[in-house]
A and B are shown apart, each in its own frame.
Chain A
Amino acid sequence: MTATDLPFPGLTGVPTRGDDELLTGKDFTSDQEVRWCPGCGDYAVLKAVQGFLPDLGLRRENIVFVSGIGCSSRFPYYLDTYGMHSIHGRAPAIATGIATTREDLSVWVVTGDGDALSIGGNHLIHAMRRNVNMTILLFNNRIYGLTKGQYSPTSEPGKVTKSTPVGSVDHPFNPVSLALGAEATFVARTVDSDRKHLTSVLEAAAAHRGTSLVEIYQNCPIFNDNAFEAIKNPDTKADAIIPLVHGELIRFGVDGAKGIARDETTGGVRVTSGDDPGVLVHDAHADDPTTAFALSRLTDAGVLHQSPIGIFRQVERATYDDDARQQLVTAEQGEGDPQEALAALISGPDTWTVV
């Protein structure tokens, strides 16, 4: 049985375990001691991933986690799969080489807001536009943790940190807007503390063939505690979280008092009352990313009093690695012995013989 038989087109070509080979989260846990700060949001994500990986039905040896540099990039050490903790910002490039040459591997990238959006921004957008088959987990804690607390490309304007004593004058990125701008085929946002939602989004991301970008709001209690206070606090979260579920009305607030409707004046979307007949039905499968982008703008860049959570976009498009491999298959068809072919190649058409 291969993963083709499962509802996971993203894993087509990756061999699966036999039905009798049961694995649990423990089997995906390495012998290395986890060294994040107490209370770090990374723990919850690690637990969710370790808990969810067995459900993919894959063999451990066919899973590769690649990370860059940053707190979250220690992730691969804690999973008993293949893994590479690489250099700052380059994980998507390295993963591209792995995914392109090996259809039989399930490739994951673990990165952070500094790693993916600052030093590695170029690789991130190009991986997404190429649609290389990999799942990117972007841990967004909106701060530089490993270097001890400088502002990051997702920090809010005015943020006071060690490197910005009188406040940051940088305008932040909205990772989801960026991904949609790069025409990523799968773009989602979830939260470290909501294990159920996190798991369901990861499942959908793994199932997707192509690049999946999952932004995970991750709390850094040491350097940026409560950055996601509004969406985590039971008193405010109903108003702060705008749940995106494909095929359902986009409503939020206590008892769905609010909704999202088209804004005719800007072409974007706006908040309206929950019973407004104009409330949109979320269509993650729309080919055109315009509405998804408009929804992503509901999160004020850096300011998170209100934020859509869920899958923004999930569409099918040819992947770079499938097409690249197909070109090899086409070229190889009907050819014979490689050494004979090599002899013919290096001789070329214009030779002369000296006796």
Chain B
Amino acid sequence: MSKQVQQLDRVIIRFAGDSGDGMQLTGDRFTSSSAAFGNDLSTLPNFPAEIRAPQGTLPGVSSFQVHFADHDILTPGDAPDVLVAMNPAGLKANLPDMRAGSTLIVDSHDFTGRNLTKAGYAENPLEDDSLADWALTPLDLTGMTVEAVKEFGLSRKDAARAKNMFALGLLTWMYGRPTETTIEFLEKRFAKNPAIRDANVTAFNAGWAFGETTEAFAVRYEIKPAPMAAGTYRNITGNLALAYGVVAAGVQSGLPVFLGTYPITPASDILHELSKHKRFGVTTFQAEDEIAGIGAALGASYAGSLGVTSTSGPGVALKSETIGLGVMTELPLLVIDVQRGGPSTGLPTKTEQADLLQAMFGRNGESPVPVVAPQSPGDCFDAALEAARIAVTYRTPVMLLSDGMLANGSEPWRVPEIADLPVIDPAFATGMNHTTTGKDGAEVDDFWPYLRDPDTLARPWAVPGTPGLEHRIGGLEKGDGHGNIAYDPANHDFMVRTRQAKIDRIAESLPPLEVDDPSGEAKVLVLGWGSTYGPIGAAARRVRRTGLDVAQVHLRHLNPFPNDLGDILKRYDAVLVPEMNLGQLSMLLRAKYLVDAVGYNHVRGLPLKAAELAEAITDLITTTTGAEPVVEEVSS
């Protein structure tokens, strides 16, 4: 039977099921084959904090959304076009996100008495009219899977577990994805268990063949590869890119990397990844707690490594005192905070940007720390290198603020040429830097651990083992230059100001901000930071397509702010600051620049939705300039 082929420019698919149904794997594989096919894409995994929440219930639902397109896209998409639901709870939990007319492909197998009740359905929604607004295709995916794999003699339970691969096969057919990447993956993944391997491959192929032959689907879709800048690409998640950035920082600085850390969601994958790269001189230390993790990292930095610690907000709270010690001892230290919903334990597996003020101010005393944030999964690589550059060059702890969405989300990433990466110079102290006049009047060469570089204000990094530079540092206030304990009031005032001045000085090493204002006519600026880059960019495009002008600037450096930020803010009549918090960047901007920044704030544990944000931008443009949209928005 030959099927009709329809061209689409983009599709958003969400795979949803029980957390034991393998939805993350299914989404990940669909993403890989889409990446291999050459689409631009963006993904959003969403899973419960419990490892195995009660089966079949709403809290146990796990999903993976993938947005792929024939053009450059910025977000995982607001609302899916297709929902693949593997059980009643998966349907129920995700239906509110589905627009009328969108497609529901539902495994009807579990739509029976108890399973319906567990999901909170009184009636079977596949049999009443409640889903009439959607294009519903119920299929017994489980039944067909069990039938397809019966030759392998698996238990019924094991056989049914391959249903996610049947669904993947079906969707692979429907969207014309290559099959090889998935088959190769399954063969490798289950190499040790041939029966499971063959069952999964067979289920995948059966799903594909089912699409080809069934009359349930008359159309298959084609989404052409997206034009991308020339280069070698791979798909990458934020945590992986961040870990690679840390390895690269070690290579580019020539420093051994020491990660001292404690497992915490959603940062643990950074530890897992870095523990594989001993070949690069990367040591990973899984400490007894968050405090020991950063303590050991700071010790390693003192001894001449690039000390790194990775955590999430609750861990940052525990590490605060040691970050303060790093500020006082002026040692390089990379503090990675993969932000999650807070406060307290909060929403461990959901995303949020509410640690910005914690990163800025969450320590006693005047304790300035540079803050750097990546804007997309692939960008975590560059952001990690940049954070390491600042830490090493300025001898300071640096906060690197990723978040749950970046950590687990993925996108195609153009693999950089090593020759294009920055080189980081540790510039260890090797000799005396000062002459002191001794008691007898004779001049003696001396080492002063707090004598600063006049350009960067950085102090010398004198590593134990260097003869003649023996010195003591610590958390007590240091005398300017010589670094001995000093309680003198004027000295403290001077040192507090100098530590601040050193961090402010970093701004001089930053490139000018990029202002995205295609028409040059915008009166409204949208300013963001971190993972909101995608939704803000997508929203700005929507707004521009309606004939309105809007400018976008995205901050990588939150402390210090780039030197040109103040002037840029002044150029616009209104500034909108979208954030996944209650207005933390807004507060900083208002305090520093006296700008009447308007907040756009959501803390739902999920990325901002481009369509909603576009409305907010449009409203602000209309109230600021009186301009109204001239064309209706059609598609993002």
A residues near B (Cβ < 8 Å) are 30, 32, 59-64, 66, 69, 76-77, 80-87, 90, 93-98, 100-102, 104-105, 122-123, 126, 324-325, 327-328, 330-332, 335, 338-343, 345-348, 350-355
Which residues does chain A contribute within 8 Å of B108, judged by CB atoms? none
Which residues does chain B contribute within 8 Å of A123, judged by CB atoms? 288, 291-292, 295
Establish whether residues B476 and A85, one from each chain, have CB atoms under 8 Å apart when the complex forms.
yes
Supposing A98-B302, A105-B303, A328-B283 touch, asked if A347 and B232 sit within 8 A by C-beta, the answer is yes
Establish whether residues B464 and A61, one from each chain, have CB atoms under 8 Å apart when the complex forms.
yes
Which residues does chain A contribute within 8 Å of B304, judged by CB atoms? 101-102
Residue B325 contacts which of A87, A324, A341 (CB distance < 8 angstroms)?
A87
Which residues does chain A contribute within 8 Å of B258, judged by CB atoms? 97, 100-101
- CB pairs A–B below 8 angstroms (5 shown): A62-B465, A84-B472, A87-B321, A94-B302, A335-B279
Measured between alpha carbons, how far is A353 from B295 in the docked complex, in Å?
Answer: 43
Interface bits B292-329 vs A (CB < 8 Å: 1, else 0):
11011111111111010000000000000110110001
Establish whether residues A350 and B36, one from each chain, have CB atoms under 8 Å apart when the complex forms.
yes
Which residues does chain B contribute within 8 Å of A62, judged by CB atoms? 464-465
Quote the shortest CB–CB distance from B103 to chain A (angstroms): 28
Measured between alpha carbons, how far is A335 from B294 in the docked complex, in Å?
Answer: 30
Which residues does chain B contribute within 8 Å of A332, judged by CB atoms? 278-279, 281
Top 9 closest pairs, chain A to chain B, by CB: A97-B299, A85-B474, A93-B295, A97-B296, A331-B278, A94-B299, A97-B300, A93-B292, A126-B288
Establish whether residues A84 and B329, one from each chain, have CB atoms under 8 Å apart when the complex forms.
yes
Quote the shortest CB–CB distance from B522 to chain A (angstroms): 31
Closest to A126 in B: B288
In the complex, identify which listed stretch (B223-231, B502-510, B601-609) lies at the interface while the others stay far away: B223-231
Establish whether residues A96 and B247, one from each chain, have CB atoms under 8 Å apart when the complex forms.
no
B289 at the binding interface (Cβ < 8 Å) = yes
Which residues does chain A contribute within 8 Å of B464, judged by CB atoms? 61-64, 82, 98, 102, 105
Establish whether residues B415 and A351, one from each chain, have CB atoms under 8 Å apart when the complex forms.
yes
Closest to B295 in A: A93
Closest to A122 in B: B288
Which residues does chain B contribute within 8 Å of A90, judged by CB atoms? 291-292, 295, 321-322
Supposing A61-B468, A341-B279 touch, asked if A354 and B230 sit within 8 A by C-beta, the answer is yes
Residue B248 contacts which of A98, A346, A351 (CB distance < 8 angstroms)?
A346
Establish whether residues B233 and A354, one from each chain, have CB atoms under 8 Å apart when the complex forms.
yes
Closest to A79 in B: B472
Establish whether residues A350 and B229, one from each chain, have CB atoms under 8 Å apart when the complex forms.
no
B35 at the binding interface (Cβ < 8 Å) = yes
Interface bits B253-271 vs A (CB < 8 Å: 1, else 0):
0001010100000000000
Residue B300 contacts which of A84, A100, A355 (CB distance < 8 angstroms)?
A100
Which residues does chain A contribute within 8 Å of B305, judged by CB atoms? 97, 101
Which residues does chain A contribute within 8 Å of B329, judged by CB atoms? 84
Which residues does chain A contribute within 8 Å of B72, judged by CB atoms? none
Establish whether residues B247 and A61, one from each chain, have CB atoms under 8 Å apart when the complex forms.
no
Which residues does chain B contribute within 8 Å of A102, judged by CB atoms? 303-304, 464-465
Supposing A101-B258, A122-B288 touch, asked if A327 and B278 sit within 8 A by C-beta, the answer is yes
B484 at the binding interface (Cβ < 8 Å) = yes
Quote the shortest CB–CB distance from A78 to chain B (angstroms): 9
Which B454-489 residues have C-beta < 8 A from chain A? 464-476, 484-485
Which residues does chain A contribute within 8 Å of B280, judged by CB atoms? 338, 341-342, 345
B residues near A (Cβ < 8 Å) are 32, 35-36, 38, 181, 227-236, 244, 247-248, 251, 256, 258, 260, 277-281, 283, 285, 287-289, 291-293, 295-305, 307, 321-322, 324-325, 329, 381, 415-418, 464-476, 484-485
Establish whether residues B278 and A85, one from each chain, have CB atoms under 8 Å apart when the complex forms.
no
Closest to B248 in A: A342
Which residues does chain B contribute within 8 Å of A324, judged by CB atoms? 283, 285
Measured between alpha carbons, how far is A331 from B279 in the docked complex, in Å?
Answer: 5
Establish whether residues A347 and B234, one from each chain, have CB atoms under 8 Å apart when the complex forms.
yes
Measured between alpha carbons, how far is A123 from B418 in the docked complex, in Å?
Answer: 39
Supposing A85-B473, A100-B283 touch, asked if A93 and B296 sit within 8 A by C-beta, the answer is yes
Establish whether residues A98 and B468, one from each chain, have CB atoms under 8 Å apart when the complex forms.
no
Quote the shortest CB–CB distance from A68 to chain B (angstroms): 10
Closest to B299 in A: A97
Closest to A75 in B: B472
Establish whether residues A339 and B251, one from each chain, have CB atoms under 8 Å apart when the complex forms.
yes
Establish whether residues A101 and B283, one from each chain, have CB atoms under 8 Å apart when the complex forms.
yes
Supposing A96-B299, A97-B298, A351-B234 touch, asked if A60 and B283 sit within 8 A by C-beta, the answer is no
Residue A346 contacts which of B235, B283, B381, B465 (CB distance < 8 angstroms)?
B381
Quote the shortest CB–CB distance from A110 to chain B (angstroms): 12
Supposing A77-B485, A96-B296, A354-B231 touch, asked if A84 and B302 sit within 8 A by C-beta, the answer is yes
Which residues does chain A contribute within 8 Å of B288, judged by CB atoms? 122-123, 126
Supposing A61-B469, A62-B464, A347-B234 touch, asked if A85 and B475 sit within 8 A by C-beta, the answer is yes
Quote the shortest CB–CB distance from B257 to chain A (angstroms): 10
Which residues does chain A contribute within 8 Å of B474, judged by CB atoms? 76-77, 83-86
Which residues does chain A contribute within 8 Å of B278, judged by CB atoms? 327-328, 330-332
Which residues does chain A contribute within 8 Å of B297, judged by CB atoms? 97
Which residues does chain A contribute within 8 Å of B485, judged by CB atoms? 32, 77
Establish whether residues B302 and A350, one from each chain, have CB atoms under 8 Å apart when the complex forms.
no
Residue A83 contacts which of B321, B417, B472 (CB distance < 8 angstroms)?
B472
Which residues does chain A contribute within 8 Å of B260, judged by CB atoms? 93, 96-97
Given contacts A82-B464, A122-B288, A350-B235, 6 further A-B contacts (CB under 8 A): A94-B298, A97-B298, A102-B303, A122-B292, A352-B35, A354-B228
Establish whether residues A345 and B302, one from each chain, have CB atoms under 8 Å apart when the complex forms.
no
Which residues does chain A contribute within 8 Å of B302, judged by CB atoms? 84, 94, 97-98
